[in-house]
Amino acid sequence: MRTIAFFWQYFKRYKLSFVIVLLMMVTATVFQVLFPVYVGQAVQHLVELGRAFAEKGETDQILSIFGSVMGSVLVSFVCLSVSSLIYMVLMTRVIAHSTNEMRKGLFGKLSKMTVAFFDRHQDGDILSRFTSDLDNILQALNESMIQVMSNALLYLGLVIIMFVQNARLAWITVASTPVAFLLLVVIVRLARKYTNLQQKEVGRLNAYMDETISGQKAVIVQGMQEEVIKGFIEQNDRVRSATFKGRTFSGLLFPIMNGMNLINTAIVIFVGSAVLLSDPNVETAVAVGLITTFTQFSQQYYQPIIQIAASWGSLQLAFTGADRIQEMFDAPEEVRPENAPAFTELTDSVEIKHVNFSYIEGKPILKDVSISAPKGKMTAVVGPTGSGKTTIMNLLNRFYDVDSGSIEFDGRDIRDYDLDSLRSHVGIVLQESVLFSGTIRDNIRFGVPDASQEMVETAARATHIHDYIESLPDKYDTLVDDDQNIFSTGQKQLISIARTLLTDPQVLILDEATSNVDTVTESKIQQAMEAIVAGRTSFVIAHRLKTILNADQIIVLKDGEVIEQGDHHQLLKLGGFYSELYHNQFVFE
């Protein structure tokens, strides 16, 4: 019911189209089930025509009736074709518009979701909901849903018309249904079992190939090529085995059901003939006509069942996709208080007061953390991996909200400010820089799209990337393309810093901006950082302590708690954990 409700929220705006589709499907069903009746009547009149010609030589009246029947057959065929075309076109239009609305709604939801969702799900998993899941829904609804709806109506129509025509022949026709249904269930379950296994094994094979390709150098160095090939062959054989079984059982569906169909038709012909021709109350011509009609019925009887069974797997993919997309729609959104005041300028300080936070309940990351950062001063946060450094940065920008305590700008809880205005004045340079498709100019002014060329170049000069950009053939019009690989990691970081500088943030967060670069590039980034932090309230997460020696204050975290606090000289004099970190690091450097 939840899945149906999900689809209905998009389909309900097309109620009129659905009514017309349903009417056209019913119309098509009526003419489709009447077709065998008209054929049977035509055969009946042909028999009567032959008898009349043999007995009296009079055929005009019967020929007229036969002509009327054939005319009805022609009209039925035309009406069936037209009504089928109408509902196919309408249904395709409804489904295309609905999936388009799903995609737009999903992307709109993406911008409102909390960072927690992105932290819990891999990028590829989120992307697949936009691509393969929506594609599965579109394909399944376009093909399978129409098939299921039309064939369900056809099956119902066949059963009704058969019992209306002749109850005895109808019971003969449907008598084998339980056996066919049992075979159908067994085959479909086995096919689905091995198809699911095939998908899992293909996933494992892809993971094995990805691991091998990404680690190819290590494979060569360790001389493990033969072992890797052996592992690939074993996994590939598992894929082959599961694929063979899945395809075999899937392939059994149609021949077995068609065999049942032929057997059922033969039973209808022979048993039906024996029943009707032995009945003195049934004329021979009528009996022959009914046998012809029910032969047509029996040939059609299993087709809707086969089509529904064949389409059900695709519908299951659509249902699974709908559940995964619904999970995104159900994900919590960022808390945005109504009529909240805009944050415009930091005049005093940033205060972190008695903050407790955990990503998973019962596993605290921050424990009663308090930090006071005066305006215009640089606060460095250091500590071992897992101590909570990055978590503090996530809380300052409201990627997450605190469990208890508060973070205040100028004495006001940041949760009380308008979120967009707050973030527009908080700049972040992440450890891993991100460049977007477009030109270098577009990337630098990403946060300020109307920035002038002069402003862009000023930011680039301040971060020591201008000269390199000018050395490129297209300069600031150079397109950013991962395949060209024209930027080193450090150069990407400098562009990212220039982008942040251009936004002119009130509060600045630098998250280990020099951790993945060489010494020369580190020096350039350090100079760029000095330019960007000048006069700003800044928080710097430091991996290399030499980048924060001049910080106004250094906060030392360990196991989620502030254990030391002071400037570099004070902490060295203290001779505690920071001093140990410093001496260990500089000994190795």
Q: Can you give the pLDDT of all 589 residues of the chain as single tens digits?
A: 666 777 777 777 887 887 888 888 888 888 888 777 777 777 766 666 666 555 565 556 656 666 666 677 777 778 878 888 887 888 888 888 877 887 887 777 777 777 777 767 666 667 767 776 777 777 777 777 777 888 888 888 888 888 888 888 888 888 888 887 788 778 777 776 776 677 677 767 777 777 777 777 777 766 777 888 888 888 888 888 887 877 777 677 777 777 777 787 787 777 777 776 676 766 777 777 777 887 888 878 888 887 877 777 667 667 777 777 777 777 777 677 777 888 888 888 888 999 999 888 888 888 998 989 888 888 989 888 888 888 888 888 888 888 899 999 988 888 888 888 888 888 888 777 777 888 889 888 888 888 888 888 888 888 888 888 888 888 888 888 754 567 777 788 888 888 888 888 888 888 765 555 556 666 777 777 777 777 788 888 877 787 788 888 999 888 888 898 888 888 888 888 888 888 877 654 4
282 and 386 fall within a common domain: no
pTM: predicted TM-score of the whole model, two decimal places: 0.61
How far, in Å, CA of 433 to CA of 492, rounded?
6
Please report, for the domain that includes residue 479, its CATH number.
3.40.50.300
Beta-carbon contacts of 370 under 8 Å, excluding residues fewer than 6 positions away, are 352, 353, 354, 355, 405, 562
430 and 299 fall within a common domain: no
Q: Please give the residue range of the domain that contains residue 532.
A: 352-588
292 and 416 fall within a common domain: no
10 and 77 fall within a common domain: yes
Q: Alpha-carbon torsion 550, 556, 560, 563, what sign?
A: negative
Token readout for 442 is: 């577009």
DSSP 3-state of 352: strand
Question: Which residues on neighbouring strands pair with residue 540, listed in sequence order?
Answer: 380, 510
Q: How many domains does the chain have?
A: 2
Crossing angle for the helix pair 146-165 and 284-330, to the nearest 10 degrees: 150
Q: What is the CA radius of gyration of the chain?
A: 37
How far, in Å, CA of 21 to CA of 396, rounded?
54
Residue at 14 is within a domain: yes
284 and 404 fall within a common domain: no
Please report, for the domain that includes residue 169, its CATH number.
1.20.1560.10
Which of 270, 296, 330 is the last residue in one of the domains? 330
